Structure 1
Amino acid sequence: MNMPNLIEVGELVGKTGTNDVQLKIINQILKKNDYIQVENEGINFLLIVKEIWNDKGNIEAKCSVVGKAPRTPFKPKSRAFLAPEEIIRQKLGISTSREEGVYLGKLRDYPYQIMLKVKKLGRIFITGKSGSGKSYTVGVLIEEILEKGIPIIIFDRHGEYSSLKVASQDSNDIFNVTPKSFLNQIIEFTDLTINTGGDVPIEFLLTSDPSDLIVSNQCTIINLRGLDLEIQEYITKETLKRLYDASVSGQIQPFFCIIDEAHLFAGKKRTETSELIQLFSQEGRKFGANLIIVTQKPQLLDTTIRAQAGTWIIHQLTDIRDVDITVKSSEGLSSEWQNDIQELEPGEAILTGESIEKIPLIIKVRSRMTKHGGTGFNPLDFISDKERESLEERKARLLSAKSQSDLEHAKNLLNEIRSSGSISNKKAKELEDEILNLKLALNKEKEKFLEALKLLEKVKDIAKQQRVNIDDYL
């Protein structure tokens, strides 16, 4: 077949199948995870390069079919070309329009924008180790959901998402993103003595109606920074319960709910909070309550919650147990993707699951419209005097809508929790987490030790064959 406008990169060699083929590379511009096109049965198929090696001067690669495979094996010596844009878009299903999708970033090493269909976004699982870009991606997703006018509520343990009130100051326009502040679309409940850039005292959350929290074009941030863990858990539990009941009864419209550091609220030990999050993950979508789980430790998360995820956004993980659990739990990933997960750069992620036809993609997450904040971000440090004045007016308006008796009632509730002896439960939980982390570290060292023993036995076998007494060197 004559393909004058395509760049030839090699030909198929060795044993060929319907899913995997071996490619002899003749053009060394080809890299791992690049896409190639190969014709079979008169149809152009898209393949992804999964491995590249040098065999006595010959550069070869293992390539796997993306999407539906042919009915008959590829023919040996078939020519392979760099895949053109139209076949990449068609086979990867990335032709969703801006109106119908959320713009998450671009296909890595390609200029093609990745739009996830809003209708297919439901239960989302976002994971990655600290520093991998996980929280940044959550910020991007929140911006996109707000741009669609969909209500969203965030349980923010570290006070990171207050930065959504401040427009980005970066001038990088590679992703064609315009800086923007969502100041007037955000209501932030928090301990105002700790997080002065918030809007409403956290106590008011306990007396707020779900219809005040879930509002079109509004992002409700529950900033838990600075609160004791048992208070955080109580607030999360009570709020989720009211939201779920309101969803089931149809009192509130469809919304997204983000739970950050979810493994702390929904670990493998059963609690009221973990059972509620489990209920949300299993049943919530039927009633428009869409859950977004965020964690850096998927191995510590309740298995049922993990199994319910429809779309996975995976940043770099280096703990092999986290990697293994992620690959086994997510749809579309095989063991071949384990190295990819460990090698991702900050800001890169693997997408897989329902929203992208279960075909894994590696993307570079787009720039944020808003400023990326760290723990304890205070928007008051970045907004103008006029914006600060507007923020104070809004606080006064929100506070005047609640009675003093409501505030006192909520304060008394929290004080009861603090004085009920649950502090000791907190310490016990912290010790439990510490013991678990020590066990994980010990298991890792044990694995290294066993690997070293295996290696030593191999060396001994080789030495025995060579008639060398290895004990003389130990």
Structure 2
Amino acid sequence: MKILQKEGDEYHLLALPNEGSNPGDYLIIEDNKAGKSLILQVMEVKYANIPGMFEEILRDGLSTRLEGDELDPFNMNSQLLILKDTKLTICKVRGIVEKGRPTPYGSFVPSRNYSTINPLAIEKLLYREEMAHPIEIGETIKKGRVSIDAEALDGRLNIITGRKGTGKSHLSKILILGLVEHGAPCLVLDINGEYVNLSATRKGEPQHKYVNKIITLTPGKSLKFDMEDMGLSPILNMLIYALDLPWNSTRTFIRVWRENARNGKLTLEELNGTLTRWKCHESIREAIQSRLYTMMDSGIFTDDPLEKVDTLELFRSIRDGGALIINLKNQSAINRRMLVELLLGKLKELLSKEAISPIFLFAEEAHLYLRDTYWDDIVTRMRHLGLFTTFITNQPSSIQETIYRQVDNIFLFNFLNDRDLEAISRVAKIDVESVKLIVKELPPRHCLIIGDAVQNFPLVVNVRSLDVDTMGETRYFFKTR
């Protein structure tokens, strides 16, 4: 390869037919005289526009129709064949290597005369030191093994996004199981029932290393809350933000709650009974009672001490590594919002008291059940308390731009829609053009990783397979016949 020209942070390289590269590949320009190297990432490969090539291609097309012997005493034809397949490789500067250490910042102009250009196995350059908590993700286009350090997710905000069916949930399962193996607790809000068999193989057999660490809870069955255990603050959050209880009614409910707490009667039936006798405006009574009836009908509350879940002990049960899967499939929209408000409200309370260790939250399609004001709360205040979130979505535009601006890692699968790509690329740690050129060409199960997990060197990875029961696969009509 040879340097043709430089335009801003973009290099155009001439490559012979046997020097093939693909979008996402890395190259290194080593300037032996300067003692530095330039790291480039391939954005696009196209034919070199060599003067006279258009006429030569036309001549070839015409010559195939003519009869006769072709004389080529100077063997020019073989050279023309090489010129026809010479490629123009367009690259972006991703960093430099100086004194043997890569950095994603800085640049220099290498010599055309004293530089050599070679393929770069970026994963070997990035991960020369042994990781403390490796999670194997997959391999590069050139078959180099790729792992990320679990510490790159610790205290971070992550987004996994891409078109439907490209492998988002598959990657999130790899991250969850990797975190569990390293002793981290995880909470998964599973809206489609894709994670409920995470401890089983594809054949449905239990995986013994996960079987006691993956706990699946179905609201109304294995997950029921007790009013006293849940506490006033999470219940208020649910009433206000999920059930839209007006402020005047909220103040009355707080007084009713405190009265019942003094008498040791914090059950739905007792609260409703006290409210019936309470001196207040009838509209306030009706507003509160209608919410209490909704709570009773939801099936997620119980007054039976044998059915209730102790939330503190539940979260403590995974403190040495485990995952709580909250199966939100088949739950109504109002039930989903109630559950999420309760769980996150209780989590905030327990984390602020340091009653439980920090926890990793995985939220599938969070825009369907998270109120807008909770987005900022999760990624700012709750992150400082110890809740580290990974959002998984196929609608990147549903996530607020203020959230994107705080993202530490993006795992980006294939998108064809420019609007979706622009929503991400505006705040990604690389330029818009790079995101569009690479992501549109990604095949299924391949993702572009951007951020701290890859030391800010964007990396295309073929995500590895996983021997778990994949509940998220789409059901088809004709494949069953």
TM-score, normalised by the number of residues in structure 2: 0.66
- Give, in whole Å, the separation in 1 of the partners of 2:355 and 2:422: 41
- Tell me the secondary structure at the aligned position of residue 212 of structure 2: helix
- Give, in whole Å, the separation in 2 of the partners of 1:136 and 1:296: 13
- Give, in whole Å, the separation in 2 of the partners of 1:168 and 1:82: 41
- Tell me the secondary structure at the aligned position of residue 132 of structure 1: coil
Q: Which residue of 2 aligns with 1:139?
A: 173
2:142 matches 1:44: no
Deviation string for 1:333-372 (max 9, x for gaps)?
Answer: 4322213222211111111112222221111112214222
Q: Which residue of 2 aligns with 1:35?
A: 26
Give the letter for the 2:91 counterpart.
C
Contact 2:159 2:407 in 1 (8 A): yes
Contact 2:38 2:110 in 1 (8 A): no
Choose the corresponding residue for 1:62, options 70, 85, 90: 90
- Give, in whole Å, the separation in 2 of the partners of 1:191 and 1:78: 67
- Give, in whole Å, the separation in 1 of the partners of 2:445 and 2:412: 10
Compared CA separation, residues 116 and 248, structure 1 to 2 (3 A): same
2:237 matches 1:203: no
Deviation string for 1:168-213 (max 9, x for gaps)?
Answer: 459xxxxxxxx766221122211577xxxxx556736985324422
2:434 matches 1:336: yes
Compared CA separation, residues 227 and 368, structure 1 to 2 (3 A): same
Deviation string for 1:278-335 (max 9, x for gaps)?
Answer: 2011122222211111111011223333332211111112222111111112223432
- Tell me the secondary structure at the aligned position of residue 339 of structure 1: helix
Task: Please report how far the alpha carbon of residue 77 of structure 1 lies from its aligned counterpart in structure 2 after TM superposition.
Answer: 4.9
2:324 matches 1:296: no
Q: Which residue of 2 aligns with 1:114?
A: 147
- Give, in whole Å, the separation in 2 of the partners of 1:180 and 1:346: 30
Compared CA separation, residues 227 and 150, structure 1 to 2 (3 A): same
Cα RMSD between the aligned structures?
2.8
Give the letter for the 1:130 counterpart.
K
- Tell me the secondary structure at the aligned position of residue 23 of structure 2: coil
- Tell me the secondary structure at the aligned position of residue 197 of structure 2: helix
Contact 1:332 1:353 in 2 (8 A): no
Choose the corresponding residue for 1:53, options 39, 46, 50: 46
Show the 5 A alignment for 1:322-361: 322-361=420-459
Identity %, equivalent residues: 20
- Give, in whole Å, the separation in 2 of the partners of 1:12 and 1:289: 48
- Give, in whole Å, the separation in 2 of the partners of 1:96 and 1:274: 41
- Give, in whole Å, the separation in 1 of the partners of 2:108 and 2:144: 33
Q: Which residue of 2 aligns with 1:129?
A: 163
Contact 1:17 1:73 in 2 (8 A): no
Give the letter for the 1:150 counterpart.
A
- Give, in whole Å, the separation in 2 of the partners of 1:191 and 1:342: 39
Compared CA separation, residues 180 and 358, structure 1 to 2 (3 A): farther
Choose the corresponding residue for 1:240, options 327, 344, 357: 344
Q: Which residue of 1 aligns with 2:134?
A: 101
Choose the corresponding residue for 2:215, options 176, 187, 201: 187
Q: Which runs of 5+ in 1 are unaligned?
A: 1-9, 171-178, 194-198, 267-272, 378-474
- Tell me the secondary structure at the aligned position of residue 329 of structure 1: coil
- Give, in whole Å, the separation in 2 of the partners of 1:61 and 1:376: 38
Q: Which residue of 1 aligns with 2:112?
A: 76
Contact 1:323 1:338 in 2 (8 A): yes
Task: Please report how far the alpha carbon of residue 254 of structure 1 lies from its aligned counterpart in structure 2 after TM superposition.
Answer: 1.0
Q: Which has the higher contact order (CA 8 A, sep 6+)?
A: 2
Contact 1:333 1:352 in 2 (8 A): no
2:406 matches 1:371: no
Show the 5 A alignment for 1:72-471: 72-77=108-113, 79-85=115-121, 89-90=124-125, 93-95=126-128, 97-121=130-154, 122-168=156-202, 182-191=210-219, 200=223, 203=300, 208-214=310-316, 215-216=318-319, 217-266=321-370, 273-374=371-472
Task: Please report how far the alpha carbon of residue 88 of structure 1 lies from its aligned counterpart in structure 2 after TM superposition.
Answer: 5.1
Give the letter for the 2:300 counterpart.
E
Q: Which residue of 2 aligns with 1:19?
A: 9
Give the letter for the 1:137 counterpart.
L
Task: Please report how far the alpha carbon of residue 239 of structure 1 lies from its aligned counterpart in structure 2 after TM superposition.
Answer: 0.6
Compared CA separation, residues 22 and 287, structure 1 to 2 (3 A): same
Contact 1:189 1:221 in 2 (8 A): yes
- Tell me the secondary structure at the aligned position of residue 213 of structure 1: helix
- Give, in whole Å, the separation in 1 of the partners of 2:144 and 2:202: 22
- Give, in whole Å, the separation in 1 of the partners of 2:107 and 2:398: 42
Deviation string for 1:38-62 (max 9, x for gaps)?
Answer: 1232223322221222114342111
Q: Does 140-149 or 314-323 show the bigger shift?
A: 314-323
Deviation string for 1:15-43 (max 9, x for gaps)?
Answer: 33673322111234333322222123222
Contact 1:156 1:224 in 2 (8 A): yes
- Give, in whole Å, the separation in 2 of the partners of 1:358 and 1:103: 18
- Tell me the secondary structure at the aligned position of residue 203 of structure 1: coil
Give the letter for the 2:136 counterpart.
Y
Deviation string for 1:201-228 (max 9, x for gaps)?
Answer: 6736985324422522221111011111
Report the number of matched residues.
346
Task: Please report how far the alpha carbon of residue 148 of structure 1 lies from its aligned counterpart in structure 2 after TM superposition.
Answer: 0.7
Q: Which residue of 1 aligns with 2:305?
A: none
Q: Which runs of 5+ in 2 are unaligned?
A: 54-83, 97-104, 225-298, 303-307, 476-481
Contact 1:126 1:295 in 2 (8 A): yes
Q: Which of 1 and 2 has greater Rg?
A: 2
Q: Which residue of 1 aligns with 2:238?
A: none
More helix as a share of residues: 1
Give the letter for the 1:51 counterpart.
E
